[in-house]
Amino acid sequence: RDGISVTRQSDQTSSFTVEPCRGEIGVRVEDENSDPVSGALLELYALNRTWDQDFTGANGVLTFTQACGMEVGVRVTPPAGYTVPEGRGSSFYDGLRPDIDGRVELVFRLQAS
């Protein structure tokens, strides 16, 4: 029983509010000198698929919004002239829940090749 009773021929009104997703992940891609790197491909992924992707601009920053409802990860593909060691915390971050934990800030540090 859910505690809801309905009487025949009665008018009952219910209301509810759906809160918009507010899960944000801010990402900065920089080189060994902490200078911004543009042109890095960043992918927001979950459940073995890419949900969103884009390239960093001149400031090396990108923000993913609406990262909600599941654990997500972010991976970087360096632009030409840069490399990144493979592994958690260097080429990807996973297990992120910005909708629950609040805005997440990530930094990827690339190496000039």
pLDDT tops 80 at residue 21: no
The residue among 31, 40, 37 whose CA lies nearest residue 76 is 40
pLDDT tops 90 at residue 23: no
Task: Calculate the average pLDDT of the chain.
Answer: 91
Rounded-to-integer distance, Cα 111 and Cα 113, Å: 6
Count CB neighbours of 54 within 10 A: 14
Contacts of 72 (CB under 8 A, 6+ apart): 23, 25, 44, 45, 46, 51, 94, 96, 97, 98
Q: What is the pLDDT of residue 78?
A: 99
**What is the band of 2 on the pLDDT scale with cuts at 50, 70, 90?**
low
**What is the band of 112 on the pLDDT scale with cuts at 50, 70, 90?**
very high
Q: What is the pLDDT of residue 11?
A: 74
Domains and CATH numbers, the chain: 25-112 (2.60.40.1120)
